[in-house]
Structure 1
Amino acid sequence: MSNNHGFARIYEQGDQVNYGRSNVANEERHHTRNAEGYRPKDQNKAMNQMLEENIQDDVAERYKHDPTYRATMHGNEPSKGAKIDAEIQREEEELLRRKQEKTDSLPGKKQ
């Protein structure tokens, strides 16, 4: 028997997940919603909405920073241009990391 209501993430092997106070408090720090004021059933719904927003934010962030992610998310092979862009991006990040390490070790640098 399958459920046709609520988010799929609230069920683990057919059981509804009840979030603990620490989980609710942790999510409230990142969102403008006060889920602790909700009734227990509505609190789970609010938590699931906040977690869904987190996932959407993560996906949007990956779209911005990973040229191959969009194609991969749709089950396709990234284009040659996207692969080249990703390689250039990795090389630039490595170069910046090495430069940062060199400047961090300079005497008199404020940290």
Structure 2
Amino acid sequence: MSGQSNVGNSGVYEAGDQRNYKDSEIKQAQEEARFHEGKQNSHLAQDSKDERSIANKLEREAKREKEPENQLSEEDRASQLDSTLPAKLHGNEPSKGAKIDQQLKEEEDEELRRKGKK
């Protein structure tokens, strides 16, 4: 019976159930958690349960008035030209759906040209 305690033999604890982390590992984990805490643009402007102050809401509306409404991102403009272009810009192969979309778009454009409407 030597090597046994009242709660079991020592093999139960061999897997390292009690882990001692370095202070640097704990600090790094906290920083990573803090990084993912708040997301930009996470507030909904019309949300009645939003806890932003009135001053913050007024500031946001003032900024919104200055922004042009039809401003498209570079990816949006690229996808209007070619459905596969955004993926190519990121160095990826376009998805099957994007390839099919582009093929259909080209077929429709060709048919419109043939009919003389474009």
- Structure with larger Rg: 2
TM (norm. structure 1) is 0.36
- TM-score, normalised relative to structure 2: 0.34
Which has more helix, going by share of residues?
A: 1
